Structure 1
Amino acid sequence: MDWSPFWLSLKLASITTVLLFLISLPLVYVIYFYGKNIRPVLKAFVSLPLVLPPTVLGYYLLLLLRPDGWLGQLSQRWFDLRLVFSFSGLVIASIIFSLPFMVNPVLSALESLPNTYREAAYTLGKSRWNTLINVLLPNIKASLWVGGVMTFAHTIGEFGVILMIGGSIPNETRVASIAIYNEVEMLNYANANVYAVILLLFSFIVLILVYSYQHQRTRGII
């Protein structure tokens, strides 16, 4: 058994979750405060990876990140960095593919808050950004936590986009989900079963943690 795919999956999920948290806050800020008239369009754009087949998303990302694509060319020219079939490319693809799992819970929670929170902050002279960071977000900590956990878990289980962007390069792009596919192709069902069981248990534990936290929040325990 090669355990490196699991460590690579954990590394990818951790980096993706941290970067998505930093990216999502400004995005949520724009949608919530400035996108009132076109909010359905913006939310649909953010949620597109949820309904778009991974192969379709992977295909367009491949066109974007390949060496003769505009982002691939910029990366090569400015940073001497190859994006296709590299860990860096996986991070970019994972950020796009997991974006809804971070943005949607936070945005939904903000929309469910009473307007009095925002109006009271404006009365005290706080800017929109200060209102978001210091007033609104502290009241939706549960949604932030759930968004982060779901993003992490979803990234662990990615397959289609990862395969198209990264392929199966050992210690570079061969994450756990790709390792299962490779073992099945080689008829190594015992190894594939070990990989699959570990991912199954991990996903189940994550869901238990999320629903337990939500249950305790509902009961007012935490």
Structure 2
Amino acid sequence: MHTPIDWEPIRVTFWLTLRLAGITTLLLLLTGIPLAGWLAISRFRLKPAIEALISLPIVLPPSVVGFYLLLAFSPTSAFGNWLLQTFDIQLVFSFNGLVIASLLYSLPFMVHPIQAGLENLPVSWREAAYTLGQSPVKTVWKVLLPNCKPAILTGVVLSFAHTIGEFGLVLMIGGNLPGQTRVASIAIYDEVEQLHFETAHAYAGLLLGLSFAILVLVYSINKRVTI
């Protein structure tokens, strides 16, 4: 028997998903650009170790990262208990916890494209800026970054899309609380587990359409930038 789809929970879940992805991407943009700029021009001896640390989420299973973040954020841990006692903040099974976890897990998807874009620019541009008295920071912000728009856009899209599609990490940290931590990827799994395939199709179709629209927009903008 066909069961009508209840669109209200879907609307709430998608709004929560988009809000999580939007806030995470904005924070990653604010933190990722300075970090990528520093990595692109730095000759720090421990730079490879820092790059490896940033890249860990790419090679580690999301459940591994989620497990250790769960231990760190738990009120029974020193850090989690300090947050709870000092600021009355609980990160486990909360939207704020999802944001912080997504920020850490999606960091390489923002940093790597921008860093690669900066490193691929002609070295002469940087040397000319230094000759004119520009500091390394001003060189990155005023000379290099304006010529890395496609790389920045790629980082934004990858971070946004990766946050939308993440499953294991958000399940470990946020669980499945409707209206609070239940994002679209968790909702699809939940609906399939309950054999509600019509609702699962609705979630999956919306994610598919959104992903396709984002990619079309990115390719269109990149084509205009490179012309």
Band the TM-score falls in, shorter-chain normalisation: over 0.9
In 2, the alpha carbon distance for the partners of 1:23 and 1:115 equals 24
How much does 1:214 deviate?
A: 3.1
How much does 1:124 deviate?
A: 1.5
Which of 52, 64, 67 is equivalent to 1:56?
64
1:199 aligns with 2:203: no
In 2, the alpha carbon distance for the partners of 1:98 and 1:70 equals 25
1:140 aligns with 2:138: no
- State how 1:6-155 maps to structure 2 within 5 Å: 6-155=14-163
Given that 1:87 and 1:173 are in contact with CA atoms closer than 8 Å, whether structure 2 keeps it comes out as yes
In 2, the alpha carbon distance for the partners of 1:35 and 1:56 equals 31
Unaligned 5+ segments in structure 2 are 1-5
How much does 1:45 deviate?
A: 1.9
- What is the root-mean-square deviation of aligned Cα atoms in Å? 1.5
SS in 2 for 1:116: helix
How much does 1:23 deviate?
A: 1.2
Partner residue of 2:178? 170
Given that 1:12 and 1:155 are in contact with CA atoms closer than 8 Å, whether structure 2 keeps it comes out as yes
What one-letter code is carried by the residue in structure 2 that aligns with 1:132? V
In 2, the alpha carbon distance for the partners of 1:46 and 1:216 equals 31
In 1, the alpha carbon distance for the partners of 2:78 and 2:115 equals 31
Partner residue of 2:3? none
Given that 2:28 and 2:110 are in contact with CA atoms closer than 8 Å, whether structure 1 keeps it comes out as yes
How much does 1:36 deviate?
A: 4.8
Unaligned 5+ segments in structure 1 are none
How much does 1:86 deviate?
A: 0.2
What one-letter code is carried by the residue in structure 2 that aligns with 1:130? K
SS in 1 for 2:148: helix
TM-score, normalization by structure 2: 0.90
In 2, the alpha carbon distance for the partners of 1:12 and 1:34 equals 32
Percent identity over the alignment?
Answer: 52
What one-letter code is carried by the residue in structure 1 that aligns with 2:68? Y
Given that 1:35 and 1:42 are in contact with CA atoms closer than 8 Å, whether structure 2 keeps it comes out as no
Given that 1:167 and 1:174 are in contact with CA atoms closer than 8 Å, whether structure 2 keeps it comes out as yes
Q: Which stretches of structure 1, 4 residues or more, deviate above 6 A after TM superposition?
A: none
1:159–1:39 Cα change, 3 Å: same
In 2, the alpha carbon distance for the partners of 1:69 and 1:33 equals 37
How much does 1:73 deviate?
A: 2.3
1:92–1:185 Cα change, 3 Å: same
What one-letter code is carried by the residue in structure 1 that aligns with 2:65? L
1:180 aligns with 2:188: yes
